[in-house]
Structure 1
Amino acid sequence: MSVTDKLTSRLPVLGDRGERKDVVAVVKLHGVITPTPSPLARGSINLATVESALTRAFDHDRLKAVALQINSPGGAPTQSGLVAERIRQLADENQVPVLAFAEDVAASGGYWLACAADEIYAHRTSMVGSIGVISGGFGFTGLLERFGIERRLHTAGSNKSRLDPFSPEKPEDVAWLEKMHSQLHELFVGWVKQRRGDRLTDAEDLFTGDVWLGQKALELGLIDGVGSLRQVVGKRFPDAEISIAEPKKPLLARLGLSAPAAAGALLDAVSTKAAWSRYGL
């Protein structure tokens, strides 16, 4: 047999692809939810970073379900809402069920994402919930005085400089922030009730921002079962293969370049660590 014949014999015959399996596509939603990720960071979640993975996940021909693998301590409420709404849009357009699986943490915005699924599962050690709103910052007024630095701030509009970290905190600014928190909290609670419905219990501490392990989250109706992705998918879709839908890599990562060291990157790293530290991670 010639070399040409050997090569030809290895080519697939048109129309003879064998039996094609059903697919359960997996989208990994890992990291802090933020609108401003690093050019290299893949450990962050926003609509821009996950859009390509979501589109690929819902684009399979023999798609049986989409699984969301969530490991997030939360973050920006708007990005949480945008990603969750995109998931629901794609699920409704393609008429496929969505299952969410909490890993270490699906808390705050991470739980907001989980509620985009039709069913939520968690490991018995997963931390789930934290249905609340939080924001934080620093005050540098004493630091400026210590080093003799004069703060110069000019605005048009009496409320333009609210919560400026270099100015003394004003009670009216705190009251405004608390009002915003209350409004966001109401939206969060409304989303959870809309998605979970009568599966939720009437526990008094359900929406206090508390967090629970998997079994307790099941008792409260925050999740539908305790189990891992492969356990549940293997039982529900025994004949389907699992396909990971990877997002596109950021440009610098595709070029094999490292991110430059900068004060901004350091602050981002500290902020990210603080978000995970709230859950002991």
Structure 2
Amino acid sequence: MSQDRWTEGPMLDREQAQSGADNGKAWAMIERTMQASIQEQRRARRWGIFFKILVFIYLLGAVVLFTPLMSGEGTASLKPHTAVIELRGPIADQQEASADNLITSLREAFEDGNTRGVVLRINSPGGSPVQSGYVYDEIVRLRGLHPDTKVYAVITDIGASGAYYIAAAADEIYADKASLVGSIGVTAAGFGFVETLNKLGVKRRVYASGEHKTFLDPFQPEKPEETEFWQGVLGTVHQQFIDQVKAGRGERLKEHPDMFSGLIWSGEQALDLGLIDGFASTSKVARDVVGVEELVDFTHRESAFERFARQIGASMGNTLATHLGLSAPLLR
């Protein structure tokens, strides 16, 4: 018995050693497999990053090459033409119809030696009096520098408020008989949440330096003297609007008690009031008034990158100001 146990012991040791060696080889093989898999994943990730960068560069190049063509830039003709500039949507800073974009378009159109007339094609409900005033003044300045190049405003669906403010700077204004024209007035709107806070049991805490610093705060009660002051500010802006319309239209305006009340008129009514000079489309003005039928678009449009930067940079601030009632007055 002892001899059998003595023989069995070394045999077990050899089997265990062999088993351990086999396990070691198995783990080594698993480790190599895992390392190979990790390396393959890293390689695939590197190639993925490379192709993403390649696609980005390709798209960037496409934007750089084709944006000027899509935006209408570089479309100047080598023969006489009527320059067209689009004024669409709300008139506001960092928007399509901003003073920067419109003034850039106007200058390029006037400076082109083949421009025989400029048509400002308008479809806008209005907007900022400041932006509108900038464009109005620039039209007057360019008309003075280029007296032989006339400016014609053509109102399509609507040319109201700040849009009409700009149109008044043109030599002549045209519209359709059903267009909406005028709305010579100013508005500034907000909300009041005083009673809402009281019902919810919320107490407003404001720390400010200056007696009237928070007079537009929608969470505090209005004060009669501050309301009167704000109405005076709006009245001043309204009078500036009226003065510019009178300067632009002159004796063509007909006396009417509601002319500057903020009402909006049809094109047919606007013609009777002297707010417009006739009925015509852009092509009709180019053909029958300017005398040059070919149209060339000088509208300055932002690139995709400019729009992205503008939206990221301004959206939060503009939204906050609007909801708190802190936005600037609008021509309405």
The 8 Å contact of residues 84 and 118 in structure 2, kept in 1 or not, is answered as yes
Give the match for residue 7 of structure 1: none
- Distance in 1, matches of 2:86 and 2:321, equals 21
- Distance in 2, matches of 1:175 and 1:255, equals 40
Identify the match of residue 21 of structure 1 among 58, 64, 79: 79
Identify the match of residue 84 of structure 1 among 122, 133, 136: 136
- Distance in 1, matches of 2:159 and 2:224, equals 33
Q: How does 1:45-194 map to 2 (within 5 A)?
A: 45-95=97-147, 96-194=149-247
Give the match for residue 271 of structure 2: 218
- Distance in 2, matches of 1:255 and 1:184, equals 32
Deviation of 1:253 after TM superposition, in Å, equals: 5.5
Give the match for residue 247 of structure 1: 300
The 8 Å contact of residues 21 and 240 in structure 1, kept in 2 or not, is answered as no
- Distance in 1, matches of 2:138 and 2:258, equals 29
- What do the CA deviations read for 1:209-241 (whole angstroms, capped 9, x no partner)? 111111110010000001111112111234442
- What do the CA deviations read for 1:13-71 (whole angstroms, capped 9, x no partner)? xxxxxx95311111111111223x3xxx53xx222232322222222112111110111
- SS in structure 1 of the partner of residue 186 of structure 2: coil
- What do the CA deviations read for 1:76-110 (whole angstroms, capped 9, x no partner)? 11111111111221222122110001111111111
The 8 Å contact of residues 92 and 99 in structure 2, kept in 1 or not, is answered as no
- SS in structure 1 of the partner of residue 127 of structure 2: coil
- Distance in 1, matches of 2:312 and 2:193, equals 28
TM normalised by structure 1 equals 0.78
Structure 1: segments with no counterpart, 5+ residues? 1-18, 271-278
Large movers: runs of 4+ above 4 Å: 253-260, 262-270
Q: Which protein has the larger Cα radius of gyration, Structure 1 or Structure 2?
A: 2
Distance 1:269 1:229, change over 3 A: farther
Distance 1:238 1:51, change over 3 A: closer
Residue 30 in structure 1 maps to residue 83 in structure 2: no
- Distance in 1, matches of 2:192 and 2:263, equals 27
The 8 Å contact of residues 23 and 60 in structure 1, kept in 2 or not, is answered as no
Give the match for residue 52 of structure 2: none
* Structure 2 counterpart of 1:21, one-letter code: K
Deviation of 1:198 after TM superposition, in Å, equals: 0.8
- Distance in 1, matches of 2:144 and 2:177, equals 30
The 8 Å contact of residues 52 and 248 in structure 1, kept in 2 or not, is answered as no
Structure 2: segments with no counterpart, 5+ residues? 1-76, 324-331
- Distance in 2, matches of 1:255 and 1:213, equals 37
RMSD: 2.8
The 8 Å contact of residues 283 and 293 in structure 2, kept in 1 or not, is answered as no
The 8 Å contact of residues 74 and 111 in structure 1, kept in 2 or not, is answered as yes
The 8 Å contact of residues 252 and 258 in structure 1, kept in 2 or not, is answered as no
Distance 1:268 1:252, change over 3 A: farther
Structure that is richer in helix per residue = 2
When structure 1 is superposed on structure 2, of 214-223 and 243-252 the one drifting more is: 243-252
TM normalised by structure 2 equals 0.67
- Distance in 2, matches of 1:256 and 1:139, equals 33
Distance 1:265 1:188, change over 3 A: closer
- What do the CA deviations read for 1:149-182 (whole angstroms, capped 9, x no partner)? 3322122211211121111111111111111122
